[in-house]
């Protein structure tokens, strides 16, 4: 149990701090590797969609049907699934579009003379951009932690998928913060720290959900996690991948992500 806890916290921390990789790419490369980002985002979406619908939803359903009976259990599973979607949709709705870290940016934007704004008065806006991603990543931390705690192999797959999608988020957060402050160091620091909301989500899950964790609680959480990850894939990852897309790479990445996830699940049977 202790080993699983350490693994779950470690995976969540790794996934969250991947925003720092995006910051590094933004500051130390001249051009955006759109082929890589399109393929990687599609791959991440494929992993999330497949594992959510084939593995996580089914485990939630099994737990809830076993605890509540066939009819109530199935209704609770579907309710938890769409409840997770509603939660992440509300978070997106509360983040103004301009500061939303999922608005696509490129490294080229960083080096554009027209964007070299160094106005200290914009620091508040830059800080809000970091806060926006922190709020958005919080439920992802809960998803990674609870998944890893229940099934370490599943947790690893989810953590990798979330880490991949946090890389372009790091770019998207660092660029506007740099515009606001004129400081690459501050942009990197705030973007990097914003990823800490994911391990914070894990700590909250451990402190407030673990004491009440029974089959019903587990089933509802897992159904909600499935809904959150499907929503993230359809609302963020695939549209972002298509914006970076070249020659249908995002779809190839999607299929590849599903295939890798399917193979890994078969190997653990």
Alpha helices in the chain (DSSP H): 2-16, 19-28, 34-50, 57-68, 70-94, 107-110, 123-150, 152-181, 184-194, 197-204, 215-232, 238-244, 249-267
Residue 157 CA to residue 162 CA, distance in Å, equals 9
Annotated binding site: 137, 140, 165-166, 169, 198
Residues 154-195 pLDDT 10s: 888 888 888 887 877 777 667 666 766 677 787 788 878 888
Annotated binding site for Fe(2+): 137, 140, 166, 169, 198
Question: Contact 147/239 with Cβ under 8 angstroms?
Answer: no
The residue ranges of every structural domain in the chain are 2-27+45-267
- pTM, two decimals, is 0.72
Specify the DSSP class assigned to residue 9.
H
How far does Cα 214 stand from its chain's mean position?
26
Annotated binding site for Zn(2+): 140, 165, 169
Range picked from 38-42, 127-131, 155-159 for highest mean pLDDT: 155-159
Q: How confident is the model at residue 113 (pLDDT cuts 50, 70, 90)?
A: very low
Residues 56-106 pLDDT 10s: 899 899 999 999 999 999 999 999 999 999 988 888 777 655 545 455 555
């Amino acid at each position: 149990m202790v080993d699983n806890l350490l693994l779950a916290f470690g995976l969540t921390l790794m996934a969250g701090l991947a925003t720092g990789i995006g910051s590094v790419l933004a500051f130390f490369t001249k051009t955006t590797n759109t082929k890589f980002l399109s393929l990687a985002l599609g791959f991440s979406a494929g992993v999330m969609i497949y594992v959510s619908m084939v593995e996580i939803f089914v485990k939630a359903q099994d737990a809830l049907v076993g605890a509540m009976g066939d009819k109530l259990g199935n209704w609770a599973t579907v309710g938890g699934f769409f409840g997770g979607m509603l939660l992440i949709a509300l978070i997106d709705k509360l983040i103004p579009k301009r500061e939303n870290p999922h608005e696509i940016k490129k490294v080229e934007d960083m080096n554009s003379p027209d964007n070299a704004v160094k106005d200290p008065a914009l620091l508040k806006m830059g800080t809000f951009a970091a806060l926006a991603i922190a709020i958005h990543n919080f439920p992802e931390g809960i998803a990674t932690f609870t998944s890893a705690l229940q099934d370490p192999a599943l947790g690893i797959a989810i953590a990798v998928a979330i880490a991949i999608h946090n890389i372009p988020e790091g770019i998207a957060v660092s660029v506007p913060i740099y515009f606001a402050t004129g400081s690459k160091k501050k942009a990197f620091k705030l973007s990097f720290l914003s990823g800490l909301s994911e391990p914070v989500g894990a700590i909250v899950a451990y402190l407030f959900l673990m004491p009440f964790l029974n089959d019903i609680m587990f089933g509802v959480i897992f159904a909600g996690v499935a809904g959150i990850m499907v929503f993230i894939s359809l609302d963020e990852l695939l549209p972002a991948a298509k914006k970076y897309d070249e020659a249908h790479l995002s779809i190839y990445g999607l299929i590849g992500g599903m295939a890798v996830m399917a193979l890994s699940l078969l190997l653990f049977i």
